[in-house]
Amino acid sequence: ETGVTQTPRHLVMGMTNKKSLKCEQHLGHNAMYWYKQSAKKPLELMFVYSLEERVENNSVPSRFSPECPNSSHLFLHLHTLQPEDSALYLCASSQEGLQGLYGYTFGSGTRLTVV
Partner 1 sequence: AQSVTQLDSQVPVFEEAPVELRCNYSSSVSVYLFWYVQYPNQGLQLLLKYLSGSTLVKGINGFEAEFNKSQTSFHLRKPSVHISDTAEYFCAVSDLDGGSQGNLIFGKGTKLSVKP
Query: Among residues 54, 97, 113, 115, which is the contact residue for partner 1, using CB under 8 A?
Result: 97
Under the binding rule (CB under 8 A), the answer on residue 25 touching partner 1 is no
Show the site string, 61-80: x = touches partner 1 by CB under 8 A, - = not: --------------------
Separation CA 52–CA 41 (nearest Å): 29
- Residues 55/47, Cβ–Cβ less than 8 Å: no
Whole-angstrom Cα Rg for the chain: 13
CB of 86 to partner 1, least distance (A): 15
In whole angstroms, the minimum distance from the beta carbon of 34 to partner 1 comes to 12
Window contacting partner 1 (CB under 8 A); options: 11-19, 42-50, 63-71, 72-80: 42-50
Out of 28, 42, 69, 83, the residue judged to bind partner 1 by CB under 8 A: 42
Please choose, from the candidates 8, 1, 5, 2, the residue with its C-alpha nearest in 3D space to the C-alpha of residue 112: 8
**50 touches partner 1 by CB under 8 A:** yes
H-type alpha helices, the chain: 99-102
The secondary structure of residue 102, as a DSSP letter, is: H
8 binding partner 1? (CB under 8 A): no
What's the rounded Cα separation, in Å, for the pair 28 and 39? 32
